[in-house]
Amino acid sequence: MNRRLYLDTSAYLCILLGDAGATQLSRETRGATLCTSVLLVLEARRTLVRLARESVLNPNQFEQCQVRLTADWELFELRDLSLGLCEALPMPAVMTPRSLDLVHLRTASWFHARSPLTRFVTLHAAQAQAARELGLPTTGT
């Protein structure tokens, strides 16, 4: 069975920046169908600029990350942010996610309804809880 993973921006940036847990996430994503929102591109670019401005990334690292981000777009099934997605009704029962987190949740729900996801991958506990409330799988099967 083909593994289908939805990566939110936190999971992708972990891999891109080589943060703690990147090796495990890279292993898990290898060979899987990767799904995400185009929001990931915006959030990742913004984060890279912020890290460069804060001197966390030097100019060479910044450029390498930008190039890899552009190349990585080809690895994802991307879903555009649309009015239909904004109007969609899925809202977690208990958690009230931030607007951009809700975009990821609703996009993942859209993918999941068309072909079940194996896992919604996030590094944030609140986002994982909201995903579970929407019926998205948050642990591997």
CA dist 131 and 133 (Å) reads 5
Provide the domain count of the chain.
Answer: 1
pLDDT of residue 1: 60
Residue 40 lies in a domain: yes
Residue 140 lies in a domain: no
Statement: the pTM of the whole predicted model exceeds 0.85: yes
104-137 tens-digit pLDDT = 999 999 999 999 999 999 999 999 999 999 999 9
Whichever domain contains 49, its CATH number is: 3.40.50.1010
Lookup result for tokens 């969609």: 88
Residue 139 lies in a domain: no
> For residue 72, what are the contacts with CB-CB under 8 A and spacing of at least 6?
12, 16
Q: Note whether 100 and 39 are within 8 A (CB).
A: yes
Domain that holds residue 75: 4-133
39-97 tens-digit pLDDT = 999 999 999 999 999 999 999 999 999 999 999 989 999 999 999 888 877 788 777 88
